[in-house]
Amino acid sequence: MRIVVLAGGIGGARFLRGLKKAAAEAEITVVGNTGDDIHLFGLKVCPDLDTVMYTLGGGIDEERGWGREDESFRVKEELAAYGVGPEWFGLGDRDFATHIVRTQMLAAGYPLSAVTEALCDRWKPGVRLLPMTDDRVETHVAVELDGERKAIHFQEYWVRLRASVPAHAVVPVGAEQAKPAPGVLEAIGAADVILFPPSNPVVSVGTILAVPGIREAVAEAGAPVVGLSPIVGDAPVRGMADKVLAAVGVESSAAAVAEHYGAGLLDGWLVDTVDAGAVARVEAAGIRCRAVPLMMSDDEATAEMARVALELAQEVRAGE
Ligand code: GDP
Ligand code: CA
């Protein structure tokens, strides 16, 4: 079975760990979000790709959910002593090595997809990890700061401001000119199942779908498309997805996120049992829906979510 997953960072990575357990024989291709990428200290940092790579490769800091385990922050302290920031973005010493290798390879002319493959040679995540594009795409958020309307980098909004001011718009800058990375459209076209993990629907899955050709390939794929809601009980389980959903005019509820993707993309949608009341509304939108526990409390609970998603895909395929 060939499975394609469009993934952001923490939500996507944790789900993938469960999926690998649920479908050990499957060939899994992950199309990762690169809209969160940022250049810091002259280095190219790809937070979502790295979260997937470290989580599946056994190098993640489990508690934080990002960055390396057993980490120290001495390089950052030294940079700060020179007055060089930003101080609000956490980059650990072990993590720095990844960004140095990546930046060095990019400077030597390798595309991000080849660099990601090379980094994965070390981590062996057990999936094929592809960036959504080799081109530069950066998510910017329009906010009002000190009475002035401005666009800031997504990381500045999310990490520095902790999404504390309303987002007026979310723009994946560069997406319109971007091309899907080699292998992305082929994997989607050849998939038996396409999954949207409980990743952020706007700044993770939404950004991937904004790369011209990807949304169309998913919509036209022969494979069933099944998603899992990142919104449980009308709030994000973790993070501030409600803030960016508001920016695109979508209420923070499991049903509204399903409608936002729409029946043109989604064949099936899983909501948490606390949102069982939303099932009828999702089905009225032409999307098969089931309510099951969606808390990724451990790998087994997550594997069970993945099994149900694959079952729902199977039902769609069989036209039951
Ligand atoms: P990010 O790039 O690190 O923000 O990660 P993603 O975009 O992949 O995932 C973020 C989303 O995961 C958030 O909107 C959370 O609500 C969701 N999430 C995190 N943990 C869980 C969980 O245990 N269950 C569900 N259903 N969603 C979760
Ligand atoms: Ca992210």
Residue pair 19/195 in contact (Cβ under 8 Å)? The answer is yes
Tokens for 83, please give them: 């007055």
- Region 2-133+177-318: CATH code: 3.40.50.10680
The answer to whether residue 319 scores a pLDDT higher than 90 is no
CB neighbour class for 162 (10 Å; exposed up to 12, middle 13-18, buried from 19): exposed
> What residues are in contact with ligand 1 under a 6 Å CB criterion?
7-12, 48, 51, 198-200, 204, 229-230, 232, 236-239, 241, 294-296
Residue 239 CA to ligand 1 center (angstroms) comes to 7
Distance CA 38, CA 94 (A): 18
The answer to whether residue 59 scores a pLDDT higher than 90 is yes
The number of the ligand 1 atom at minimal distance from the alpha carbon of 197 is: 8
Beta strands in 179-287, from DSSP E residues, in sequence order: 193-196, 225-228, 231-232, 235-236, 268-271
- Residues of the chain with pLDDT > 90: what percent? 98
Residue 11 CA to ligand 1 center (angstroms) comes to 3
Tokens for 45, please give them: 């940092």
The answer to whether residue 116 scores a pLDDT higher than 90 is yes
Residue 109 CA to ligand 1 center (angstroms) comes to 33
Give the domain ranges of the chain.
Answer: 2-133+177-318
> Which of 297, 280, 277, 298 is closest to 288 using CA atoms?
280
The number of the ligand 1 atom at minimal distance from the alpha carbon of 14 is: 20
Cis peptide before 125 (omega within 30 of 0): no
The residue contributing the CA closest to ligand 1 atom 4 is 9
Tokens for 227, please give them: 């998603």
pLDDT at 56: 98
The residue contributing the CA closest to ligand 1 atom 27 is 230
Arithmetic mean of pLDDT, 300-309: 98
Residue 103 CA to ligand 1 center (angstroms) comes to 28
pLDDT at 174: 98
Cβ neighbors of 11 (< 8 A, separation 6 or more) are: 197, 198, 199, 200, 204, 230, 237, 238, 239, 296
The answer to whether residue 273 scores a pLDDT higher than 90 is yes
The answer to whether residue 320 scores a pLDDT higher than 80 is no
Which ligand lies nearest the alpha carbon of 8?
1
Distance CA 274, CA 294 (A): 9
Which of 200, 207, 208 has most ligand 1 atoms within 8 Å of CB, for mutation?
200
The residue contributing the CA closest to ligand 1 atom 24 is 295
The answer to whether residue 70 scores a pLDDT higher than 80 is yes
* Backbone phi, psi, residue 124, to 5°: 45, 65
Q: Tens digits of per-residue pLDDT, 133-164? A: 999 999 999 999 999 999 999 999 999 999 99
Q: Tens digits of per-residue pLDDT, 77-105? A: 999 999 999 999 999 999 999 999 999 99
pLDDT at 206: 98
- Residues of the chain with pLDDT > 70: what percent? 100
The number of the ligand 1 atom at minimal distance from the alpha carbon of 297 is: 23
The number of the ligand 1 atom at minimal distance from the alpha carbon of 47 is: 2
Residue 301 CA to ligand 1 center (angstroms) comes to 15
Report the phi/psi class of residue 213: left, alpha or beta, with left for phi > 0 and alpha for psi in -120 to 50: left
Residue pair 268/288 in contact (Cβ under 8 Å)? The answer is yes
Instruction: Provide the edge-to-edge strand list for the sheet that holds 138-145.
Output: 148-153, 138-145, 169-173
Residues measured by CB to lie within 5 Å of ligand 2, the ion:
8-9, 36, 48
The residue contributing the CA closest to ligand 1 atom 2 is 9
Residue 25 CA to ligand 1 center (angstroms) comes to 25
pLDDT at 272: 98
Q: Is 50 annotated as a binding residue?
A: yes
Q: Supply the mean pLDDT for the chain.
A: 97
Q: Tens digits of per-residue pLDDT, 227-266? A: 999 999 999 999 899 999 999 999 999 999 999 999 999 9
Q: What is the DSSP string of 48-60?
A: HHHHHHHHHHT-B
pLDDT at 280: 98
Strand pairing report for 225-228 and 27-32: unpaired
Strand, helix or coil for residue 152: strand
